[in-house]
Structure 1
Amino acid sequence: MNCESFGSEREQTVGLLSNNMEARAEAQKTKHYKALYTFATSIGVGTLILMLFWILHYRGGFAWQSNPDQQFYWHPFLMFLGMLFLYSQSMLVYRTYRTSAKKNLKLTHAAIHFLAFILSVIGLKAVFDSHNYAKTPIPNLYTLHSWIGLITVIIFATQFLAGFVTFLYPGLAGSIRKAAMPVHTAFGAGLFILALIAAISGIMEKAVWTLGSEYAHFKAEGVVFNFMGIFIALYGVLVIYLVNESDYKRTPLPEDQIALSHSE
């Protein structure tokens, strides 16, 4: 065997070992991500269940304009479902389904975002109706919670429209998309944090207004309020970590590069 042949075989062996190590590292990262993602999603679903328990057990359930007092409870439920749970799932879709084609992930990302926005609009209508149609009308948009919440939804709609035009349809040039991606990602994470602040401040506001001085006496409903706030905060921390951890970032597939080159 000559030296060139030996060197070629050695390079192939080193290459195979390197590929195996990379594959094992990728599998380990995927395993860690799935475990954390499952735990985070369980916290999110648990928060939705706890919120339903609070509404049905303590507040008498849901209604629409025929009963403005009960119509209000669509607001916290739909806002958490849309602006926190679905929004976070949309942000994580590229990491959760990392081996799927990027075009399919884009469509899924946009569809979940759109559903989150629709649910949020219904949630906003519910709270405005509950104020306007109450026996004694309640003023709108004077609390810090309402300001942060409305600003978050408005920016969310703007972000969705800008992302749709830039990355989906008509889809701008690859160089522009590449430059816009860090901005799009940063705004997305910032909006999620704003939604967390709005949710926790809204729960605190509702607890104080509903229970008054009884809130200080560890009434059972007050404890439920506190647990909802803690679960929302924990869910938010886990999602932000999953979104920002570089080890969990999706590895581009070969077809992604082909699609990008065709769009230049």
Structure 2
Amino acid sequence: MSSVFFYVTYTLCLCLGLLCVLFVSCWSSLWRGGFSWDGSSLQFNWHPVLMVSGLVVLYGYAALVYRVPLTWRQKKLPWKLVHAGLMLLALLLSILGLCAVFDFHRSFNIAHLYSLHSWVGICTVAMFAFQWSLGLAGFLFPFSPPGFRSTLKPVHIWVGKAILILSVTSCISGISEKLLFTLNGSTGEPYSSLPVEAKFANSLGLLIVAFGLVVFGILSKKKWRRPESDGEGVHLLLSEGSA
């Protein structure tokens, strides 16, 4: 019964993640004009899509790799590589998303990192890069000392959870900031009148929050943690040692 409940919850998580990507892509396409890489506002549209897809959705999926019961009877090393690979892809998408917004700012002579959203976002990506590099050195390199691994593990766990919290916070604050700038600065309906675009983007924010909550729910369930086995060593998963 527990396994059935897991797969129901896991399917919900997968669907919420896909909806997040779909909603942010539709918002950028239908209301913001689409995509380009020419320094214009169309280049900025890559920023929310890449940050939501990488920093939230793909990051959350990667965090749950070890939770899938079908993987428990298999060797752990391949799944460590899958976890690390997904995290790396999420990090690269996030960095590309930062490149999109910084290049846009340069084209329009807009100051960088002037808002709380930008401060939280850049700190989150920096923590993510540090976390991935340290995790690679501590948990995948064969010459990593066991003492270093055991010391690193609680730090890895805490930072991993913090990154997911900050990722959700950064994305929902970015949605509000974008709506305030674009709707209140245009000739259309102001944000305060809650036009269709605002309703759609706010719904995206709720989906991101719901996705984050479901990921945390799965990670916090003790019965859904990969069972320890002799010689398995330290898990790479960001929350594996929270028991």
Q: Which residue of 1 aligns with 2:120?
A: 148
- Selected match of 2:199 from 186, 202, 223: 223
Instruction: Name the aligned partner's letter for residue 48 of structure 2.
Output: P
Post-superposition Cα deviations, 1:62-103, rounded to whole Å, max 9, x if no partner, equal: 0002x5210001100001111111111111101123333211
Q: Which has the larger radius of gyration?
A: 1
Structure 1 residue runs of 5 or longer lacking an equivalent are 1-27
Aligned residues: 228
- The 1:230/1:259 distance shift into structure 2, 3 A limit, reads closer
Structure 2 residue runs of 5 or longer lacking an equivalent are 235-243
Q: Which residue of 2 aligns with 1:57?
A: 30
Deviates more, 1:240-249 or 1:175-184: 175-184
Q: Distance in 2 between matches of 1:62 and 1:204?
A: 20
Q: Distance in 2 between matches of 1:171 and 1:232?
A: 39
- Selected match of 1:43 from 9, 13, 16: 16
User: Pairwise mapping of residues 149-164 of structure 1 onto structure 2 (< 5 A)?
Assistant: 149-164=121-136
Q: Distance in 2 between matches of 1:80 and 1:171?
A: 35
Q: Distance in 1 between matches of 2:233 and 2:216?
A: 28
Helix, strand or coil for the counterpart of 2:85? helix
Q: Distance in 1 between matches of 2:56 and 2:218?
A: 14
1:204 aligns with 2:176: yes
Q: Distance in 2 between matches of 1:153 and 1:79?
A: 10
Shift of 1:171: 4.6
Q: Which residue of 2 aligns with 1:8?
A: none
- TM-score, normalisation: structure 2: 0.89
CA contact (8 A) 2:94 2:125 kept: yes
1:103 aligns with 2:47: no
- The 1:220/1:259 distance shift into structure 2, 3 A limit, reads closer
CA contact (8 A) 2:47 2:97 kept: yes
Q: Percent identity?
A: 35
- Selected match of 1:116 from 84, 90, 104: 90
Q: Which residue of 2 aligns with 1:132?
A: 106
- The 1:140/1:170 distance shift into structure 2, 3 A limit, reads same
Tell me which stretches of 4 or more aligned residues in structure 1 moved more than 6 Å.
none
**Structural RMSD (CA):** 1.6
